[in-house]
């Protein structure tokens, strides 16, 4: 009780903890950077080795000896990971695609997460992304989601900023 106020007793069943690795907004908190630092990822995000790296880290996360719930994998939110954002805005010609992110999500975390898309993106292209992620989720019996952000006034490849 709080100073004459009686609060109801709440009961909840513990169903586990989501052990997912999610980047911080700090440049040193990038999951993309951590994956790229592994020796078997010579070409970085979007290149060969990234799926093996994501699978290895996800296996370690999912092997923790306690009850888990949720995604329990690596999260690669493009707008929230400094390295993922930097790759897309660099001018060295090395980029990754939504398909790359879907390939990685087949062995790890969340799906297609916080990906900006140009203002003129066709509804059928958005639907195709959603269907592909649904196909992965159904095939592998795992939770996956899609968070894409149509950005007014921007074309593909242009830098976006969010508050």
Q: From the centroid of its chain, how far is CA 92?
A: 23
Predicted pLDDT at 2: 62
SS3 state at 19: coil
Residues 32 and 87 sit within 8 Å (Cβ to Cβ) = yes
CA gyration radius, the chain: 19
> What pLDDT digit, counting tens, does each position of 148-158 carry?
998 888 887 77
As beta bridge partners, residue 68 has 17
Predicted pLDDT at 39: 92
pLDDT reading at 1 higher than 80: no
Helical residues (DSSP H) of 21-111, grouped into ranges: 31-36, 50-62, 82-89, 98-105
> What pLDDT digit, counting tens, does each position of 20-77 carry?
999 988 878 999 999 999 999 998 888 899 999 999 999 999 999 999 998 899 999 9
Q: How far apart are CA 16 and CA 160, in angstroms?
A: 36
Q: From the centroid of its chain, how far is CA 134?
A: 15
> What pLDDT digit, counting tens, does each position of 89-105 carry?
777 777 888 999 999 99
Predicted pLDDT at 37: 92
> What pLDDT digit, counting tens, does each position of 104-140 carry?
999 987 889 999 998 889 999 999 999 999 999 999 9
44: left (phi over 0), alpha (psi -120 to 50) or beta: left
Predicted pLDDT at 130: 95
Q: How far apart are CA 104 and CA 92, in angstroms?
A: 22
């Amino acid at each position: 009780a709080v100073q004459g106020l009686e609060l109801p007793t709440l009961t909840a069943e513990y169903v586990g903890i989501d052990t997912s690795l999610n980047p911080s907004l700090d440049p040193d908190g990038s999951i993309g950077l951590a994956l790229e630092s592994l020796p078997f990822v010579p070409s970085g995000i979007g290149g060969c080795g990234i799926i093996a790296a994501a699978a290895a880290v996800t296996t370690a996360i999912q092997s923790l000896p306690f009850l888990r719930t949720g995604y329990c994998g690596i999260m690669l939110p493009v707008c929230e990971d400094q390295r993922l954002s930097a790759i897309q805005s660099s001018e060295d010609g090395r980029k990754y695609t939504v398909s790359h992110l879907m390939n990685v999500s087949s062995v790890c975390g969340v799906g297609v997460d916080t990906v900006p898309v140009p203002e003129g993106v066709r509804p059928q292209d958005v639907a195709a992304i959603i269907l592909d992620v649904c196909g992965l989720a159904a095939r592998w019996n795992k939770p996956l989601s899609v968070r894409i952000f149509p950005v007014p006034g921007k074309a593909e490849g242009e830098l976006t900023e969010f508050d």
